[in-house]
Chain A
């Protein structure tokens, strides 16, 4: 150890800053490169649309980033646009929450009780490959209102990823942990609550993240086909009304909303599973 660093004197601001930089170099680098790549994307988009490039793909009618920004500033003052966004979020909230409330307990019970698994799994496997969009006509027949059928489609989209991942988590629970709980006096209920459930949580959250993504896919498809409101409907309507900038605005809004909702789930996961943080 060099004698220059005496423990008594606190390190100077310069030393601290340098240390902070060294520790966070990786993160800073990733952020910087990320920003540059986003700017490059915008620049390419700007150039392609300003010069109306036609090279197999036609950029003649594609709105420029500036046009989209202009329609964005207009839209955020337009209560109708906000209503579109709000309604989509509400549908996601109901559809996704219902899926989680049904699929997680069902997966846990199927994972724990063989008979339930044997009864439900074949049905689930047959229904699972059907894309949520293919349910649209059936959903319209099934549900009295349009709103309900859209929520139902969203529900279906997220239901199976959540169920499958919960089941997967249950199948990976370490049997030694179950035995450890048993010889500490745990009964069925506490084994379920204190072993099976927390052990499956990481996979449940994987399921919720994937389910949230599919929920948005399904929602937008349903809104485009049968909606009267919602960001998917907004995007499709923009096309019908030849509002090209609004198409891109709708798409970007969907992307941002999807990203935000996955981040919410990731945050919730970190809150619920403190033992997995860092």
Chain B
């Protein structure tokens, strides 16, 4: 276990003056513009926003898969230049290697680091035990349920002892009950490992329930619209989601996102040549109706 515990407070993510644009035939298209975010060591931070706002783009830039057009991404002061095992990532599509057993999947990062077989087998078993998956170590991922797959995905990302954990809508494909359990498991692991987490989701409840802080993004081109601290005490229980404090936070975030979703949708509707929709709505704007 010792190799997966982060010793000193590490994993300070900083994204400064960040923008990212793609080339297209009509010229550069801005996906994310003028964005600053940070995650303190050991902090759990979520990014929420309407679909297509560039929150995954931002996360992929932190992971090192995308290069910022302007600005800089650093982790503990070091510039991010490409993907590395220092930044573990969990994907919505699980992305387990189908040709590797559960244990081989978890071992993969350790193998890449050159850890001898017996040692990494032991480490993988310990981690799988923590996630309640030791009975499935020899199974191929295909045979697992969605929730189990994603548990393996999280364990695999944590196995190499990364400084930060990046999650891209990891529970988006799971049913509501499984989702709740997964949120609990993730919280437990995060508290145990004291690792910094950057979590992308479109689920407001999920963001509030899990996070210390939530960034809300604007519609495309995405930028930070608001930064909301979540002062709910920990450990958090499912029952908290009914508390007035939670509901107040939820209401606030909801209205922020709704504004942006309508902007995003309005843009799309206009693109589809549906400006006439306003007339059908008897003079009310789309925002009033929704």
Please give the residue numbers on chain A whose beta carbons come within 8 Å of chain B beta carbons, in ascending order.
Answer: 174, 176-177, 179-187, 190, 194-195, 198-199, 201, 273-275
Contacts and interface: CB of A to CB of B under 8 A. Distances in A.
Given A176-B95, A177-B95, A179-B83, A184 B108 contact: yes
A179 B85 CA distance: 11
Nearest to B85: A185
Contact of A183 (B88, B96, B98, B113): B88
B97 A177 contact: yes
Contacts of B64: 183
Interface string B65-84: 10000000000000000111
Given A198-B99, A273-B99, A275-B99, A183 B93 contact: no
Interface string B109-128: 10011000000000000000
B46 interface: no
Q: Which 8 A-B pairs have the closest CB atoms?
A: A185-B85, A184-B109, A182-B83, A185-B112, A198-B99, A180-B95, A275-B140, A183-B83
Contacts of B63: 179, 183
Output the residue of A174, A180, A190, A273 with the most chain B CB within 10 A: A180
Contacts of A199: 99
B91 A176 contact: yes
Contacts of A190: 112
Contacts of B157: 183-184
Interface residues on B, range: 20 to 34
A83 to B, nearest CB: 42
Interface of B: 63-65, 82-85, 87-89, 91, 93, 95-100, 108-109, 112-113, 140, 142, 156-157, 160
B156 to A, nearest CB: 7
B95 A185 contact: no
19 contacts: A176-B93, A176-B95, A177-B95, A179-B65, A179-B89, A180-B96, A182-B82, A183-B84, A183-B157, A184-B88, A184-B156, A185-B113, A195-B97, A198-B97, A199-B99, A273-B99, A275-B99, A275-B140, A275-B142
Output the residue of B63, B98, B157 with the most chain A CB within 10 A: B98
Contacts of A273: 99
A194 B64 CA distance: 21
Contacts of A274: 140
A182 B80 CA distance: 14
Contacts of B99: 198-199, 201, 273, 275
A201 B96 CA distance: 17
Given A182-B83, A190-B112, A174 B89 contact: no
A184 B155 CA distance: 12
A264 to B, nearest CB: 22
Contacts of A186: 108, 112
Nearest to B109: A184
A215 B112 CA distance: 40
Contacts of A177: 95, 97
Nearest to B63: A183
Contact of B160 (A174, A184, A187, A201): A184
A170 to B, nearest CB: 15
A174 B96 CA distance: 11
Contacts of B142: 275
A185 B97 contact: no
A184 B85 contact: yes
Contacts of B112: 184-187, 190
A183 B108 contact: no
B95 A183 contact: no
